[in-house]
Structure 1
Amino acid sequence: MNNASKIDTNWTKIFNKYPILQTIKDEGKYIITAQQIKEFWEPRLMTKHDHSVNRPQIFIDNSLSILPITRGSYIIGAMDLYHDFALSDREKVFDSTDSMPVSSPAFIESIDFNNITSEATAINSIYVSDILRDFLNEPTLLPTVNGRMGAGSFSFSVNCLSGEDTSLLVDVSNSQIEIDGGYEGTNSLCLIEAKSSLSTDFLVRQLYYPFRLWTNKITKPIRPVFLLYSNGTYYLFEYAFEEIGNYNSLKRVQYKKYRIENDVITLQDILEIPKRIPVVKEPQIQFPQADSLERIINLCEIMNSDNKAFNKYGIAKLLQKSEMRKDIVIELSYKGFG
């Protein structure tokens, strides 16, 4: 049983043991402790729902989501916790064809810009190449905060998914957060959340909790930034919360795509490529179809960096094809994909 199936199974057991659905129906929320979750499996894994499709099936079926509120407890409810990267169905945010080329310092040898395998290295890359300075329009930026820390105490409202104009009040008291990168400039503090997989949406908490913590700590404006990296392209999204106490007041401020290109490609280089590629006959087997070349490349990157096998259900969940959870799947005949 893979992790996704194990998480689904164990959450179903938890819902069967505790009156979660009835309590949410009566009170709008259910508070569950890490100790209760740990009866079945590791809470850190059971509650890591970074994208809407990562939620266990029983959450999806009942339009539920979960948030940490202390170091040892969580709130479950019909909360609107996720935000799409694209502003509309027409916006192709992960089309890398119009990315802005930049160069890195010639003396940098410790970063292989052609083989970025971690979020930390991706963040270092946009810092040393001045991508971050250009994106934020901050001539001076220095790394100041990162890693795990307490979120402090604050309250906020979050929209409910009940079909009505309702919201839920959430109180947070020192829940643990993790900041992938924090860079302070003359005029602002930028807090970065980074991912190496291209996804359609993200958990707003990853930006909101750090934003609330540091808004209470310093006087400079806080600039939440989401960084996605794949196939040599850095996708940067800057957001702002229009109402500090409103989780769903997130608005995109700007969005840019960059590519680090230190090598100059000549016409002769391009003409030589076909000469070096052997032509082989296509195999007579079923072949996966995709509407995004960027996602195909991103999947290969993830499989290479994670060094683990994926079956077709794992791939579907990873790439957020939620409709494939209903067993409408692409049959892959290659070994390791069945």
Structure 2
Amino acid sequence: MSSGARQTKKDKAWEHIFDSNATIEERIASDGFYDITSDEIKQIIEPRIACKIDHRQDNPVPLVSRGLSILAIKNGLYRIAATDVFVDLPAFPHSKVGYVKEFEIPSHVQVLGSDSLSSESKALDAALVSGMLDYVFEDSVVLVLRGREYSSNLNFRLSSNHPRMDHLDYQLESVQIEVDGGYEGQRGIYLVEAKNKTHDVDNLTIRQLLYPQLNYSKKFGRTKPVHTFVLLHNPVTSLFHFAKFNVPIRERFDATHVFDTSEYITCKLRQEQDVHRDYWSELLTCRIDDSVVDADRPFPQADSFDRIFALFNQLAQVKRSLKDQLFDAHGLDPRQHDYYGNALRWLKLADFDSHSQMFELTRKGQAIANIDNPKDIYFEIARIALSNSLFNKILHGKENQISEHDRTMNRLYSESTFYRRLQTVKSWIRYFEDSLKN
């Protein structure tokens, strides 16, 4: 790692782990892997922090730079190896495309209103009681599994990037696995890994998908087939995207062909407010008011509004957060921390104390966070952005009317910076339209 690169706490800890134990790289060079204990890791950093790697972007730089991954293989034991342990997810659209079957929560169920599905478990419960899961699985199912347990002894093989071996065998023994939702019907058992898509989710670790699939197939596969699905739920659009995880029936697990595009299913949970409120038409009436945003903050250069919304939601839950803790949870490169932090500050949703390195919601941010319906929250944040002169003119197709005064007001002095920021503006507007247009 270059000396000028910005490192997270986790990056620094892993660099220290490698520097303090030369045996790790020596063993990987000779055997293709090194099994490291929790006690070894704990000398530098808490294992639960060091080894919480749910997505490719969470993989610490010292592992990435060496072409390595880490997987739990036993309670208190992890394998570092030259393997790829991540599975790329299908690219689902943000809005309705093609045929989308709609479902409703039964009228007598009040706890699971479509405006209160803030967690993966609630989204799954809504999918169950509405009949959505029966439709997706083509089976009448009931909930039978949820939460954590320890696995059976399991075996699988991954392709290896080691120069002298093309594969590596893994033997698991009593590893903790977690299932967001497990369902059983007459025809099979169905496991679901659910993600609330308020931020970019484009990959998962095989620990989240392959481990449960292998575990329950070993337990019940002789009497019923076990199927695993990924659910991406967007609480703003009420769209539920399902993709079936296909484990190849061969000796080596290959992560490149585990999702069949012909099996993608998109469903919608009908929202009461969809009938009488046209969010997008309301946004088109926004008037320019540059005082609504904080012009003293840098103009937004964070292209993923999905991630901005996720950071806002996280801050709303914890109230205050250290900068590193807030951003590390989203797999952001350290250089992107300021991009996304400044976007929240520009929207006047959050304040940042440079002395304590703490982010917290502003009074306006807290008021918006207290709104019950996620779509209304999204609308209010979009309205703030679209009140800005540049956003507003791009929204109405008036890019040629952006004046020198508009550019100066938004601190976009150079031509190149101005055109780069316009790409961010257009990205946000596309996302607002996809999410809020009926």
TM-score range, shorter chain: 0.7 to 0.9
3-state SS, counterpart of residue 240 of structure 2: strand
| Deviations 1:269-295, CA, capped at 9 Å, x for gaps | 569846996752264342224555544
Aligned twin of 1:135: 136
Task: Give 1:202's aligned residue.
Answer: 204
8 A contact 2:101–2:268 mirrored in 1 = yes
In 2, distance between residues paired with 1:110 and 1:247? 41
Q: 1:193 is matched by which residue type in structure 2? A: E
Is 1:330 aligned with 2:339? yes
Partner of 1:66: 70
Contact 1:104 1:262 in 2 (8 A): no
Of the two, which has the highest radius of gyration? Answer: 2
Aligned to 2:151: 151
Give the one of 249, 258, 262 matched to 1:251.
258
The change in CA–CA distance for 1:174 and 1:312 in structure 2 (over 3 A counts) is: closer
Distance 1:277 1:53, change over 3 A: same
Paired residue secondary structure (1:235):
strand
CA distance in 2, matches of 1:314, 1:262: 31
Contact 2:154–2:171 (CA under 8 A) maintained in structure 1: yes
Shift of 1:163: 7.2
Aligned to 2:48: 44
Q: Normalising to structure 1: TM-score of the pair?
A: 0.84
- What secondary structure does 1:195 align onto? strand
Contact 2:14 2:60 in 1 (8 A): yes
9-18 or 228-237, which deviates more: 228-237
Alignment correspondent of 1:214: 216
CA distance in 1: counterparts of 2:244 and 2:178, whole angstroms = 18
The Cα shift of 1:228 comes to: 2.2
- Aligned-pair CA distance for 1:191: 0.8
C-alpha distance 188-44 of structure 1, shift in aligned 2 (>3 A): same
Higher fraction of strand: 1
In the alignment, which residue of structure 1 is the partner of 2:186? 186
Letter in 1 for 2:144: T
Q: 1:271 to 1:45 in 2, by over 3 A?
A: closer
CA distance in 2, matches of 1:162, 1:95: 38
The structure-2 alpha-carbon separation of the partners of 1:173 and 1:312, relative to structure 1 and needing over 3 Å to count, comes to closer
Partners of 2:59 and 2:311 lie apart in 1 by 20
Work out the CA distance in 2 between the residues paired with 1:226 and 1:61.
29
> Offset of 1:298 from its aligned partner?
3.8
Q: How much has 1:47 moved relative to structure 2?
A: 0.8
Instruction: Summarize the Cα distance change of 1:291–1:163 in structure 2 as closer, same or farther, 3 Å threshold.
Output: farther
SS state at 2:290 partner = coil
Once residues 247 and 337 of structure 1 are traced to their aligned partners in structure 2, the CA distance between those partners, rounded to angstroms, is 47
Shift of 1:116: 2.2
Match of 1:35 in 2: 39
Match in the other structure for 1:93: 92
CA contact (8 A) 1:12 1:58 kept: yes
The Cα shift of 1:13 comes to: 1.7
Amino acid at match of 1:114: D
Q: CA deviation at 1:224?
A: 0.7
- Segments of 5+ residues of structure 1 without an aligned counterpart are 87-91
Alignment of 1:230-309 (within 5 A): 230=234, 231=236, 232-243=238-249, 245-248=251-254, 251-253=258-260, 254-263=263-272, 265-266=274-275, 273=282, 280-281=289-290, 283=293, 284=295, 285-309=297-321
Which runs of 5 or more structure 2 residues have no equivalent in the other structure?
Answer: 1-6, 346-350, 355-438
Identify, as 1 or 2, the structure richer in helix. Answer: 2
Query: Which secondary structure state, in structure 2, belongs to the residue aligned with residue 216 of structure 1?
Result: helix
* 1:104 matched residue in structure 2: 105
2-side partners of 1:307 and 1:94: how far apart? 31
Task: Give the superposition deviation at 1:107.
Answer: 1.1
SS at match of 1:223: strand
Q: Which amino acid in the other structure matches residue 198 of structure 1?
A: D
CA displacement 1:200-253 (0-9 Å, x = unmatched):
211122111111111111121111111222323322221110126433255114
CA separation of 1:297/1:113 partners in 2, compared to 1, >3 Å: closer, same or farther? same
Identity across matched positions, percent: 24
Q: What secondary structure, in the 3-state scheme, does the structure 2 residue paired with 1:217 have?
A: helix
SS of the counterpart of 1:107? coil
Q: Which amino acid aligns with 1:34?
A: S
CA offset at residue 27 of structure 1?
1.1
Change (3 A) 1:289 1:72: same
The count of residues paired between Structure 1 and Structure 2 equals 326
Equivalent residue, structure 1, for 2:60: 56
In the alignment, is the contact (CA less than 8 A) between 1:312 and 1:329 conserved in 2?
Answer: no
Find the aligned partners of 2:93 and 2:321 in 1 and give their Cα distance: 25
Is residue 87–residue 206 contact of structure 2 (8 Å, CA) maintained in 1? yes
SS in 1 for 2:116: coil
Give the 3 Å change call, closer, same or farther, for CA 135–198 of structure 1 in structure 2: farther
Q: Secondary structure at the match of 1:238?
A: strand
Cα contact 1:96–1:257 (8 A) shared by 2: no
* TM-score when normalising by structure 2: 0.66
